[in-house]
Structure 1
Amino acid sequence: MRAFLEFHIIQNFAPSNLNRDDTGAPKDAIFGGHRRARVSSQCFKRATRLAAAEYDLVDEAHRGIRTKRLKRLLVERLTERDPEEAAGKIESALAAAGLSLSKKDSEKTEYLLFLGEKEISGFAELVDEHWDDLADVDTAANKKQRKAAAPPEVTKKAKALLDGGKAVDIALFGRMLADLPAVNQDAACQVAHAISTHRVEREFDYYTAVDDDLGPEDEPGADMIGQIEFNSATFYRYAVLDINKLLDNLQGDRELALSAIEAFATAFARAVPTGKQNTFAAHNAPDFIGVSLRHVAPMSLANAFEKPVTADLRESLTEQSVQRLQKTDQKLSAVYSDGQDQWLYLDLTGQWQDSDQSEELPNLVQLAQRVRELADTALEA
């Protein structure tokens, strides 16, 4: 049975610049004819991956690593081998797998790789195991020669290593290896750009810095001046996770898939972008976390805010946003769902109205555990 876990978060951030554009300004977007604050999906995906690692929600063996410095990483793991000799052998093994090194910098791969910890460990073990087999390969002048000279056994093993390594973040967010489309992985989780539920205007922080004591008395002015753009906003964050696709990406490992879902529920809620945090310290937790299980199709509730929420002294933007969210879900579900949607939620605003198909949880730990149980039931259906 089709099963989609959706995550709906209302989160208010104090003045901040969490995700910048090329000019250093906070990212934004026009939605419903009004300018909204925006944080990109890529930004929140990375923040989610970092949160999963920081809170140790996923075992290290099932994490992914995004890097161009795979060669150096492998040299560091071959601790009992000569580093210079190992570097050449690693180049040969990577070429046999079809992974290109940069023509400008042979210490880096041609493009950013997203590999599972098991894949990286596998390459280190392959080089160590076939050290003598690669002895005459590491001095080849170019990639084609290295690849052609690699023993067939090494080539076969090297290519077989690139299976995603049952890395949870790769299974969730997918990957693309330009030279090896056969080992690409479609994401089980889609993350929307977070947008403010209300219209925003950019603001500017004009700042100065003065010399503590060493400046001459006749120069009392600032030694540096500048400005930083910022905003503050109540965001609607949305992500949808295809439970069956996640299980498939994790090679049928049901226990790992359920652990990944529980970890994602926690990490996505705790994810806070790092942009300009030393300046603004906008460490604001969500006021509302809703998780819905749908069986027909995913259904973002972003259009609840096509007409912007407006400031009201009687109710906060956050409270009004939660009200809008539930009202829109009820309207859309009556038309498009199969009547079996289930909701789990954590609500600090007190605005979400409970129903027969919703369950309130008191804290994030219990919410994540119930999300896991709900996914487990969905997989059995």
Structure 2
Amino acid sequence: MAVLLPTFEVKIISSSDEVRYVQAISQITVNLSSEKPCDSAEVHVPATKKIEDLEFLKPGKEGSQIEIGFGYIGENAEKATVFVGVIDWISPDLPLVIKAEDAFTKAKRKYFTETYCKGGKRLYYSEIAQDVLSRAGLTDYCMPAAETDLDARPRSMEFKNQTVAQAMAKLSEEIQWVHFCIPGTERVYFGPDWPYLRRYLPISGPPISKVLLYRIGSGRERSNYEAGSKFSPSWGNIISAGSLKYRTDKPYSKAICNLVDREQQNKSVKGEYPETEKEYKTEKVKEGQEFSFTRIYSFDQGKKEAEDRAKELAKRKFHELNAAQYEGSFTTFGNPKLSHSHRFWLESAEHPSRNGYYEAKAVTFNYSPQGGFRTTVEVRKPPDELLPKE
């Protein structure tokens, strides 16, 4: 069996297209998250020279592009780029620290004023987002209105001396969509949550068919693998699961869906679950914390159909919030192919009944000469309707 040694690559491209590589590091951390529009990275360089001698890294070089990749040296192992961004801070003193954010950082610096949907001209949220992102020089990846019934057209949308980042936050809040810079690119996804499971991502080609397996070992036996044999029942590829907890309680007693008409947003209906005494008995919950959310929907089929839809969405959300599931994060061996929003199979050697599909809500890569290459994965449970029917 080949021994794989972790490796890294940090490439810096200046505004004059000069390319330099950081030859030695003491620590690299890359944070990718589906819940934050901007990913970040931090590189520590064990510089022993004066800052002036490190011309391409000294303060004043902020704004240069940085690319970070990880991988392994060995059979069938390749490096993969996990982060592409812009340097926004370099420490003025030693030890040298470089901080960077992905391309969405440009959205934090660009201010604009605009009123959309003027003169009765209705635009979809995705169309507004396309124009907003272009003001910061960002390339959009918005779901075209013709391809999804989840888009909507607000009656008006006004931004006064706001940043592109603030405008995108407002758009996402109103339609309950998400937006983030697609890792390794300069394109911004704006659309419904769970984009990989909905097959909206990746941008080109079919969704990733292979599902990664992460397993919590029992630790009672020494993991043993021989050619042609099966893994020991205690085998696990998760290094640490101390922050991963299995929740069995039901923290919410009710989910409330406020459904708003996409054409006339002054019209709305409400759906609750559980609502009747029978439903409360079925779900075995008592009065307690409630969760309220808003969705936009077409009322074309009438008020009764919209009310039924609101009730169904409330029921789905209730079960999603109260599902028995793992919460928290685990640490495993470094995998540069894993990114946030990717689906994986999580299982336990001691509790096989808990096995199931999960999604990476956030991924953190840590690399150092002493600690090696590690990946920390924050998990979340996808809605049942988006899981494979197996």
For the criterion TM > 0.5, the same-fold answer is no
TM-score normalised by L of structure 1: 0.24
Q: Which structure is higher in RCO with an 8 Å CA cutoff and minimum separation 6?
A: 1
Q: Which structure features the higher share of strand residues?
A: 2
Higher helix share: 1
